[in-house]
Chain A
Amino acid sequence: MKKRENILKKEKIVDSLKLPKDICLGAMKVTFTGNSEAWIENYRGLLEYSECMILLQGKTCQVCLEGNRMTIDYYTNEDMKISGCISCVRFI
């Protein structure tokens, strides 16, 4: 409960100072080009990867991308690119 309050406080400060959230809060940044490509930044690691599902660990939450024939075009410490037919994004 206390952790959640801390996060809310941080968010308020970042909001009021108009600072970028992905840097200050460590939030994941997901960019889509249609439903065929996605660029993801600020992740911690890859939890699961199959053709139908990619599960990524972020600082505060997990992101799950679902679709068909999904491949990772490149995977580096900074960002990754996923291509394929993406049908769903879930934040867990």
Chain B
Amino acid sequence: MIAFVKYFRGYVRIRVMGFSPERFMNLCCNKGIVLWNIERKDDAYEMNIHLKAFLTLRPIVRKTGTRVAVLQRYGFPFFLPKMLKRKVFLVGLLLAIVFWLYSSVYIWDIRVEGNYRITDDVFGDFLVNNHVVIGMKKSELDIESLEKAIRKQFPEITWASARLDGTKLRVEIKENDAPILNEEEYHEPGSNLVSEYKGKIVSMIVRSGIPKAGVGDAVEEGEILVQGEIPIYNDDTTVRGYYYVDSDADIVLEHIISFSEKLPFDYVEKEYTGRQKKKNYIRFGKKEWNMSENRPYLVYDSVIKESRPLLFEKLSIPIYFGGCRYREYRNVEHEYTPEQAEAVLNEKLYIFLESLEEKGVQILEKDVKINSDTDCWVIYGEFLVHEKIGKSIAVEKTVIEETEQE
């Protein structure tokens, strides 16, 4: 700080020669002039003195009979006149300041922090839909309404905070770790459990409702297994009314699941020719330069690598450098050999069986065949399984007409 004040006020390094430089220093001292970095060089003394004090030295010099020579000038008062001569530099400096002030009005970077389940792309789309984009004016951004919109759009976000950090918009969010519980709408009780497949019941445990089928019974698809409409009888065994419950039961059904999948005899594979072309480009926001629109090859794919220099990242300037590599390829047709076809179809079958296992289906018998059709390979399988079933369907309520007793 002291060094800055010294520089701002300006100072000179002087050489004091003569009969008694010590007396010169003492007089300066008495007049309140500060001297620093005093060094003895041969018969003379060199020291620093403030510019303002230097201009008042004449009486002291005369009194002590010493001579003072200026060795070097330092500080802003000497720098300024030099700079004023450099017109182009000054104009450049002025333009830079104007540009700096002008660019600080806009948002140059948007950072989202704290998102795990909501991806950056999803959040980016949301911001674009809310007209929050890079290059918009800071004054056009309403932070409070943005925060509200975030919470409204994403119910899983429990806390959202947006703030402007210079020209950078920082959006900090906190997602809810606990699962979201949707409040279940109240519905009138009364539902039946129906069979989803045709088969034979092997086990049945009913918790609520009246069972309409038993263990060992063969049932059709859509048949009621457990009824949610419980009749209430009068003393004379006539139905007085119905009590409705949501049927609940564990029912295991033995039935057959079939699986079939087709595989064409031939398939197309990409074969790279080895010919490549590379083009570099510069992207500023959404504008791109040097990205060729021409098709380099007839059939090709492209790999784009884009990076942002650390300097631009730190300064929040949306300039990206990238390279695009076009790779030519040919579509070559191949034919599956029986072994290959079997492997591919077995893979598909394996995925199907995995999905059954995930659902908790127990497989008792398997019968799988692979055949060749006119234009493709076909896998067909039938599986005898034990599966937990029971689809809940609302009961059609019976209305009882009350008869007036005379």
Contacts and interface: CB of A to CB of B under 8 A. Distances in A.
Interface string B310-328: 0000000000000000000
Interface in A43-60: 45-51
Contact of A74 (B30, B32, B34, B45): B34
Interface string B10-27: 000000000001100110
Contact of B30 (A47, A49, A72, A77): A77
Interface band, chain B: 10 to 19
B240 interface: no
A75 interface: yes
Interface in A39-92: 45-51, 71-77
Main SS at interface, chain A: strand
Given A72-B37, A75-B47, 19 more contacts: A45-B22, A45-B26, A46-B25, A46-B29, A47-B22, A49-B21, A49-B25, A49-B38, A49-B40, A49-B45, A50-B40, A72-B38, A72-B47, A73-B38, A74-B35, A74-B37, A75-B36, A75-B38, A76-B34
B40 A46 contact: no
A49 B38 CA distance: 10
Interface in B21-73: 21-22, 25-26, 28-30, 32, 34-40, 45, 47
Interface residues of A, number: 14
Contact of B29 (A51, A73, A77): A77
A69 to B, nearest CB: 10
Contacts of B38: 49, 71-73, 75
Given A75-B35, A77-B30, A77-B32, A51 B25 contact: no
20 contacts: A45-B26, A45-B29, A46-B22, A47-B22, A49-B25, A51-B40, A71-B38, A71-B39, A72-B36, A72-B38, A72-B39, A73-B38, A74-B37, A75-B28, A75-B29, A75-B35, A75-B36, A75-B38, A75-B47, A76-B35
Most buried by A among B30, B38, B39, B45: B38
Contacts of B30: 77
A75 B22 contact: no
Nearest to B48: A74
Nearest to B29: A77
A72 B22 CA distance: 12
A45 B28 CA distance: 10
A56 B25 CA distance: 12
A72 B29 CA distance: 13
